[in-house]
Amino acid sequence: MNGHTPADGDLAKTQTKFSMPAFPEKELYKHIDGANALEVFDCDPIGRSYADFILLPGHIYFAADDVCLDSRATKNVPLRTPMISSPMDTVTESLMARNMALQGGLGIIHYNNTMEEQRREVDKVKRFENGFITDPKTLSPEHTIADALAIKERYGFSGIPITLSGGMCSKLVGIVTNRDIEFIRNKNTPLADVMTKEIETAMEGCTLGQAYEILKISKKGKLPIVNANYELVRAEFSVRAKSTWHNNPFNARVSAARRTD
């Protein structure tokens, strides 16, 4: 299905920013063998379905990358790509919502489950390698390897900051990654015995680029963010997060929503 086909006398020109030659529109439509929208819909009142149409590609004189698809799901939720996945239990859970977000769209978690299960699915999306991780999961030195493995199983990551109190805004004393615990058989071993105590950190207020440069120089995989008192603030950064963010320039800041109607 094609757009309006100009009359033979229409000498409207098509010009692009790439200084391509201008052509009369009648030349562009000369070889079209389909019908335009007016011809299709301004006819007998016959019902039509999507299967009744074959959409013909039109000729363009600009690059596909020049097309802007920016839109908004709501007033405060911009999208780079106007795509929203259906809130169906066979379509959108955390995996679909993450991938929709990486492509600039939005995933809406279905509600064919409990409120707690919905919250968990949204939580998984929010914590998925998204650069600075707000409110990261933390443990104390008294917690065990089993506790760390439980976080890894639930959230899919193993870089866990260790603080004195086991919570945020407490002094950072170490970090536990998969390399620290994967070969230890006794899962009741305290994290104080296995955690990495020499930690590369960044100060509160650093940018994404600054954090990445620190990791590149230190050759570490995780970078806790601390304040002047060496207390863990509400952020964490991983080198994989930077890679994911950089390689998906269309990804959305808001990546999942819970259906409420």
- Region 145-247: CATH code: 3.10.580.10
Q: In this model, does residue 4 exceed pLDDT 80?
A: no
Q: In this model, does residue 24 exceed pLDDT 60?
A: no
Q: Which tokens hold the place of 128?
A: 């998925």
Q: Give the per-residue pLDDT at 2.
A: 44
Grade residue 251 by pLDDT with cuts at 50, 70 and 90: low
Which of 39-43, 52-56, 86-90 tops mean pLDDT?
86-90
Average pLDDT over residues 90-115: 90
**In angstroms, rounded to a whole number, what is the distance separating the alpha carbons of residues 155 and 1?**
47
pLDDT in tens, 123-178: 888 766 556 776 788 999 999 999 999 998 888 777 899 999 999 899 999 999 98
The helix/strand/coil state of 23 is strand
**187-203 residues labelled b (16+ CB within 10 A) or e (exposed):** eeeebeebbeeebbbbe
Cβ contact 34:69 at 8 Å: no
Place of tokens 């409420």: 260
pLDDT in tens, 197-249: 998 999 988 877 888 888 889 888 788 999 999 999 866 666 555 555 555 55
**In angstroms, rounded to a whole number, what is the distance separating the alpha carbons of residues 257 and 147?**
28
CA separation, residue 254 to residues 104, 125, 164, 189 (Å):
9, 9, 32, 38
pLDDT in tens, 87-97: 999 999 988 99
Share above pLDDT 70 across residues of the chain, in percent, rounded to a whole number? 71
Tell me if the pTM is above 0.85.
Answer: no
Q: Give the per-residue pLDDT at 53.
A: 80
**Domain spans of the chain, in order of start:** 13-66, 71-129+251-258, 145-247
- Which residues are within 8 A (CB) of 199 and not within 5 positions of it... i.e. 6 or more apart? 172, 174, 175, 224
What is the identity of the amino acid at 71?
Answer: S
